[in-house]
């Protein structure tokens, strides 16, 4: 019998020291690279946020220009990867499956192998992989990356084939920064476990994609959007919420494994979405979103007074990504485009002072059995 502490889901167990991000679930605070998420997300470019995770400081102007050019130069993917994505699209594979396939092949045609080089390659290739798959799925040719554009703008341009508006770029940039890292969540932990075996960064991030795909982790924004569209069409937030709760069904976009108050990222994305919809003159949909949140939070407090269920990041992710032009089927893949920054930074941090991740388990099976030959069973 093991005398190790038993903690299902590793609740309350710390298995790594990190400088990348810190969560206070009781007060609802998230710090990324030493900055409150509210400050970093609304001021930084994605390249600045990623540089911060890698170097533990913000870049100078010259460093930022060089870093941005370096990432932009790694956006292109080879013919072999495009062929895989074309087949995935033709077979109707979901976006996360296509991303997993593309991520696994991300270093084809490159001479990488150095961990940070692979990390940068993964981060740069992810938006190209997702956008290329989407173009094929729409029966259109891929749009080549533009090395003069930043990470967020490039992604939108490759998706649509059009130059994105400043408002859309700013909205997407805020989203990417907001979710770039979030403690030792399931996919980040997966990446650290894989790389702790001294496997490579590409393998680790491919495994992380698999973890993020699950509906209990990164798969919720799509269903949230479906819910918001249904309520916007009916105009009956109260009826929808009461109907779900009376039926014993879950309200997507509320409650979080870590936070006991409103997810701070929801606040950042709410502000960004409100600003975007006001600038576009399309506030009707956002008003539905806000009304639904108010109704749902009150109803959940009444329905489950013993458990505080507040708005989480997925709720406003759906509203913001829809607004800036990301298709519903790409919400989780776009989450991965952002989180690749955190995954790869965690991989490099793990390798800096590596110890193989090898938790124990509690055995609950039978004991004392004796062997019986097959003919006597």
Tell me the torsion sign for CA atoms 305, 308, 312, 316.
Answer: positive
Contact 191, 208 (CB under 8 A): yes
Helix, strand counts (H, E) of the chain:
16, 3
For tokens 């009826």, name the residue.
239
Buried b (16+ CB within 10 A) or exposed e, 207-219: bbbebbbeeebbb
| DSSP-derived secondary structure for 282-306 | -HHHHHHHHHHHHHHHHHHHHH-TT
Query: Does the annotation count 39 as an active-site position?
Result: no
Contact 208, 188 (CB under 8 A): yes
Q: Is 24 helix (H, G, I), strand (E, B) or coil?
A: strand
> In whole angstroms, how far apart are CA 42 and each of 149, 169, 264?
19, 12, 13
- Catalytic residue, from 182, 256, 322, 346: name it: 256
Contact 337, 199 (CB under 8 A): no
Q: Is 217 helix (H, G, I), strand (E, B) or coil?
A: coil
Report the relative pairing of strands 29-32 and 21-24 from DSSP bridges. Answer: antiparallel
Query: Does the annotation count 256 as an active-site position?
Result: yes
- Catalytic residue, from 173, 274, 314, 349: name it: 314
In whole angstroms, give the CA distance from residue 178 to residue 27: 18
135's CB contacts (< 8 A; 6+ apart) are 141, 142, 143, 158, 159, 161
Which pair of tokens denotes residue 175? Answer: 């989203």
| DSSP-derived secondary structure for 139-188 | T-PPPPP-TTS-HHHHHHHHHHSSPPPHHHHHHHHHHHHHTS--SS-HHH
The radius of gyration of the chain's CA atoms, rounded to the nearest angstrom, is: 22
Report the relative pairing of strands 21-24 and 35-36 from DSSP bridges. Answer: unpaired
Q: Is 269 helix (H, G, I), strand (E, B) or coil?
A: helix
In whole angstroms, give the CA distance from residue 186 to residue 191: 9
> Annotated catalytic sites, by residue?
256, 314
């Amino acid at each position: 019998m093991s005398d190790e502490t038993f903690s299902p889901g590793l609740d309350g167990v710390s298995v790594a020291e990190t400088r990348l991000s810190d969560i206070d679930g009781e007060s609802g605070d998230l710090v990324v690279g030493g900055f409150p998420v509210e400050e970093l997300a609304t001021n930084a470019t994605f390249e600045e946020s990623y540089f911060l995770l890698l170097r533990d400081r913000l870049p100078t102007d010259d460093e930022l220009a060089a870093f941005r050019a370096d990432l932009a130069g790694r956006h292109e993917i080879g013919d072999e990867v495009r062929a895989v994505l074309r087949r995935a699209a033709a077979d109707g594979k979901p976006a996360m499956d296509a991303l997993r396939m593309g991520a696994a092949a991300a270093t084809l045609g490159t001479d990488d192998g150095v961990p940070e080089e692979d990390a940068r390659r993964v981060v740069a290739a992810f938006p190209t992989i997702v956008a290329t798959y989407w173009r094929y799925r729409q029966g259109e040719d891929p749009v080549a990356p533009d090395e003069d554009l930043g990470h967020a703008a490039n992604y939108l341009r490759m998706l649509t084939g059009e130059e994105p508006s400043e408002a859309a770029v700013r909205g997407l940039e805020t989203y990417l920064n907001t979710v770039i890292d979030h403690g030792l969540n399931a996919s980040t932990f997966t990446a650290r476990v894989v790389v702790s075996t001294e496997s490579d960064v590409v393998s680790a991030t491919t495994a992380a994609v698999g973890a993020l795909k699950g509906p209990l982790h990164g798969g919720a924004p799509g269903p949230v959007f479906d819910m918001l569209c249904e309520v916007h069409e009916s105009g009956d937030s109260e009826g929808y919420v009461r109907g779900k709760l009376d039926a014993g069904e879950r309200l997507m976009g509320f409650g979080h494994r870590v936070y006991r108050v409103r997810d701070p990222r929801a606040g950042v994305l709410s502000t960004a979405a409100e600003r975007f919809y006001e600038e576009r003159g399309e506030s009707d949909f956002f008003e539905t979103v806000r009304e639904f949140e108010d109704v749902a939070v009150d109803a959940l407090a009444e329905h489950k007074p013993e458990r505080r269920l507040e708005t989480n990041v997925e709720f406003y992710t759906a509203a913001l990504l829809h607004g800036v032009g990301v298709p519903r089927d790409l919400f989780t893949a776009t989450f991965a485009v952002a989180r690749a920054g955190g995954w790869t930074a965690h991989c490099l941090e793990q390798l800096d002072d590596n110890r193989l991740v090898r938790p124990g388990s509690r055995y609950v099976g039978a004991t004392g059995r004796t062997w019986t030959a097959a003919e006597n069973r």
